[in-house]
Amino acid sequence: GALTEVGAAWITQVEHKVFNISDFRPEHPLDDESQWHTSFRDDNGELFVSKLSADIFSQKIEYICDKLGYAKKSRADNYNHLATLVKIVTK
């Protein structure tokens, strides 16, 4: 799964990103210093994220657009659209 893919990316020395699943924390030599968002599910199965995680996710959208040469929207626009897809909470 995901760990295999990240490991393969590290071995082949291509750019990769690490994400956290529950309390799993990647270790060096993987890129364990980059911030990534964390999402959760409430008792009803609905996704929610903190304001910080929503901002980090919005920044990643900008980064990907820059890397692929796509026109990007503002961080506020991306954040506001994300708020229509998941609940953003103050945590």
Q: Is the pLDDT assigned to residue 3 strictly greater than 50?
A: no
Between CA 73 and CA 49, with CA 36 as vertex, the angle to 5 degrees is 80
Length of the chain measured in residues:
91
List, for residues 13-46, the tens digit of each pLDDT value. 555 555 555 566 666 776 667 667 788 888 998 8
| Amino acid letter for position 64 | I
Q: Where are the domains of the chain?
A: 1-34, 38-91
4 falls in which pLDDT band (50, 70, 90)?
A: very low
1 falls in which pLDDT band (50, 70, 90)?
A: very low
Q: How far apart are CA 19 and CA 32, in angstroms?
A: 9
Q: What is the pLDDT of residue 7?
A: 53
Q: What is the pLDDT of residue 82?
A: 92
12-31 burial: b if 16+ Cβ within 10 Å, else e: eeeeeebeeeeeeebeeebe
